[in-house]
């Protein structure tokens, strides 16, 4: 038994303001994605929703809206929720807007980019980077923005 930190040591606030502990997803893989509503990769919301539905028995998809890149997520939590539902039919979990890099980086993204897995660390480069967490709460893969959520590269790890 190890005392190494895992994603289960964290929680987040949903877009609706509800505290969500990662611990409740034990036994499933988790795909954490930093999202934005005004990005060239924004259409990935549709594929993330498809992925979420297709693998719902073994995968939890969670979007983390962030305004760190090109001011591409300027809206409020309410704006983000409305945009995602109306334009992409998003039903997967969405966290409240947070920071994924810089001085105000959220503790979760600080963990994911610094401590989670030495082979996968480094600053988030752009919107729609994807972090895959295994059933024990450890980071096992990281995908750049250009990797489509439905790609073989990603789905082969599920």
Do 55 and 149 form a contact (C-beta atoms < 8 A)?
Answer: no
Q: Which of 34, 68, 87, 127 is catalytic?
A: 87
Do 9 and 136 form a contact (C-beta atoms < 8 A)?
Answer: no
Q: Which two tokens stand for residue 21?
A: 């502990």
Do 48 and 78 form a contact (C-beta atoms < 8 A)?
Answer: no
Q: Which two tokens stand for residue 29?
A: 């893989």
Distance between CA 85 and CA 114 in Å, rounded?
32
Tell me, yes or no, if 117 is annotated catalytic.
no
Distance between CA 65 and CA 20 in Å, rounded?
16
Do 68 and 101 form a contact (C-beta atoms < 8 A)?
Answer: yes
Do 157 and 140 form a contact (C-beta atoms < 8 A)?
Answer: yes
Which residues are annotated as catalytic? Answer: 87
């Amino acid at each position: 038994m190890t005392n190494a930190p895992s994603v289960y040591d964290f929680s987040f606030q949903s877009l609706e303001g509800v505290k969500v502990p990662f611990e409740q997803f034990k036994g499933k893989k988790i795909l954490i994605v930093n999202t934005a509503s005004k990005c060239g990769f924004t259409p990935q919301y549709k594929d993330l929703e498809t992925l979420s539905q297709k693998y719902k028995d073994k995968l939890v998809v969670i979007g983390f809206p962030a305004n760190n890149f090109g001011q591409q997520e300027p809206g409020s939590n309410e704006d983000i929720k409305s945009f995602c539902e109306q334009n992409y039919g998003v039903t997967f979990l969405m966290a409240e807007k947070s920071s994924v890099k810089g001085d105000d980086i959220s503790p979760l993204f600080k963990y994911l980019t610094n401590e989670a897995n030495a082979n996968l660390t480094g600053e988030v480069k752009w919107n729609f980077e994807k972090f895959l967490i295994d059933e024990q709460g450890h980071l096992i893969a990281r995908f750049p923005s250009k990797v489509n959520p439905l790609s073989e590269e990603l789905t082969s790890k599920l």
